Chains A and B, each alone.
Chain A
C-alpha cells in the first residue's frame, strides 16, 4: 500500500491569480440594460484574514511546563481520587479544585485513526495518526499523535497496544510536545 502512486487527473482549484480592475458593464444605462443586470454573474472577491491571538493556558499552564521538562502531568480530585489524563482545574463531579499528579510515561491505545486529509493547518503533515491514550489509574483519556507505525497499514489490532511517551527537545508549548510510540513489547 505505502508505495502506491496517485495519478492526478484534475488540476486543484486555488485562489490567487491576476488582479482585475474593471468588469464589463453597459456603456449606456436605460430600461433594457438595467434589466439585463439581473442576468449578471456574481462578482467574487478575495478577502484575506489573518490574526495572531495571545492565548493563555491559564490554570492548565503547568501541564505545558511539565512537557518541556519531560514530565506528563494530570489532574486528581484530592478526596475522591478521580483522575483526569487531560488536565482540568476543577472536577466535573465534585466541583472541587484538582491537584497536579505525575503520570507514568506508558499507556495503551484506546482508540485511533489515520488522517489522510486534515484541516488546512495540518494538511502538510498528512497522513498522521491520532490516538486516545489510556493510562492506568486514570479515569479519562488523552489525545495525542502516534509515530512509528505504517499509516497505510491501519488495523483495529492497534487498539490495546502499549505506547510510550516521548517529548520534543525544543518545545512548541503545544500538546504535541508529547507524542507516543509503540513500546518494544507491544
Chain B
C-alpha cells in the first residue's frame, strides 16, 4: 500500500436549514474552501485531480436518485471518475476510506472526497421516520421505529450492566456543547450544565433532547493524495502545509442489522476475536473474567462489536497498542451521549464497563477550557474537541468527512486559523482517530491520521 496524505479539507457551516442554496452549491462551499486553502482555483485543481468519491446517506431526504452525479456535475468534475458510497451514519467515514483506497492502491494520485445531506426538507418527525427505515422494516421499524428509542434501550442495558448514570452521560453533552462554543462551523454553540441536560424534554428514557444530536444541512470534503500527487499539486503551485498529515491506518467492522440478533459471546471468544492489545495484561483479563462471572456477555446490546473490530484493525494497521496514550484526540460518532460512552469502550480508551466513569473523569475533556464541572482528572485524550455530532450537527453524508477535516486541521496545528480561535487546538497533536458509525452499530469505520 502507498502512503496517503490528507492535505486539505473544507466544511460548510452546519445549520438546521439551508434553503438559500441547493445541496450541490453547499458542497461547492466546502470544495472551494478546501482548494483555496492550498492556494488553487478550480481550473487548476480540475487538471490535477484524478477522480472523486461522493457520500450521501438517504435518497429519501434528497428525493433525488443519483444525487451524487448532480454534485459532481455542479462542482465541474465531469468527466472524471467517481462513485457514490452509502453506509448509513458511517457514509462519510466510508467515503474517506474509499478515497484512501483509491490512492493507496495506485488507482489515483489525487482524490477529492465530498459528502452532504440536507435533512431540513422534511419535518423533524418525518426525518426520524426516514432514519428509522435504516432498521429492519419487517421486525424493527413496525414496532416503533425510532433510532433514539433503539439507543435508549442500549443505555438501559448499559446502566443495568455497569451502573452507568445519566449524570455521566450528561458530562458528554456539557463537554461537546461547550467545545462547540469555540467552533464556528457548529450548529449548536451553547453552554449547558448537567442540570440543563437532565431537565431538557425527555425523548426516549433516559435520553433527553440534549443527549441527542440534531438533524442538519451541511457538506464537507477532503483532498487526499499520494507522494506523486503531492509533487504534482506543489508543482502546479499548491501550498501544502508542513508537517504533512498522513493516513496511518484504516479499519472497519460490521454487526447484525437487528440489535436483537447480536451475539452474547463467551469470555474465551472475546479474548480470541475482540480484545485489543492493551487488554491482554493480567489485570484486564481478571477484570473481564469477573464481568463474565457476573453475567456479562459480548457484545450484547450494550456494546458495538463493529466499533471494536474497526478500531482493532485500524490500530493494527497504524501500529498502535495503547490507544489512550498514543492517540492525542478522537473525533467519534456521538449521535447520543451514551454512544460516545459506548464507543470510548469499543475504541479501548477505557475497558468495557468503565465508559461512564471515563466520561466524567476529565480525561476526554479539552485542557484549558472551563466546563463548569468538577473534574477529578486531567485531560489525556480529548474526545470530540470539535463538539462532535451532538453540537456540530449530523448531516449524515457529510459527518464522517467533517471529522476528517477537523482532524487534518488539528494535526496541521491550524485550528486557530480555521476556527478564528485557537481554544480547541489540541496541544502538540501528533495522532488523531476518526470514527464513523451507522445504524445501531452495523457499519463502523475508524481511521488513524498522523502528523509526519
Contacts and interface: CB of A to CB of B under 8 A. Distances in A.
Mutual binders A and B: yes
Interface of A: 13-15, 42, 44, 47, 49, 55, 57, 60, 84-88, 92, 110-123, 125, 128, 130-132, 139-145, 154, 156, 158-160, 174-176
A119 B261 contact: no
Interface of B: 19-21, 63, 123, 125-126, 128-129, 131-132, 137-140, 142-146, 148-149, 152-157, 159-160, 201-207, 256, 258-264, 301-302
A14 B122 CA distance: 11
A130 to B, nearest CB: 5
B153 A112 contact: yes
Nearest to B133: A119
A87 B207 CA distance: 29
A117 B148 contact: yes
Contacts of A159: 156-157, 160
B143 A116 contact: no
B261 A116 contact: no
A92 B256 contact: yes
Given A113-B153, A115-B149, A128 B301 contact: no
B125 A141 contact: no
A143 B143 contact: yes
A117 to B, nearest CB: 5
B157 A111 contact: yes
Given A139-B263, A176-B142, 17 more contacts: A13-B123, A55-B138, A86-B139, A110-B301, A111-B154, A112-B153, A113-B152, A115-B144, A118-B149, A119-B128, A119-B129, A119-B145, A121-B129, A122-B145, A130-B149, A140-B262, A143-B260
B273 to A, nearest CB: 13
Contact of A110 (B20, B137, B142, B157): B157
A122 B147 CA distance: 12
Nearest to A88: B261
A125 B149 CA distance: 14
Across the A-B interface, the 6 shortest Cβ-Cβ residue pairs: A113-B152, A119-B129, A141-B260, A111-B157, A114-B205, A120-B125
Contact of B143 (A88, A123, A144): A144
B159 A156 contact: yes
Contact of A111 (B129, B143, B156): B156
A49 B63 contact: yes
A176 B143 contact: yes
A94 to B, nearest CB: 14
Given A118-B128, A120-B128, A122-B144, A44 B19 contact: yes
A145 B144 contact: yes
A124 B61 CA distance: 23
Contacts of B258: 86, 143
Contacts of B126: 119-120
A30 B20 CA distance: 23
A15 B143 CA distance: 27
A3 to B, nearest CB: 16
B142 A116 contact: no
A126 to B, nearest CB: 9
Contacts of B264: 139
A175 B138 CA distance: 7
Nearest to A93: B263
Contacts of B142: 174-176
B204 A175 contact: no
B260 A140 contact: yes
Contact of A132 (B138, B153, B159, B207): B153
Contacts of B132: 119
Nearest to B206: A154
A95 to B, nearest CB: 15
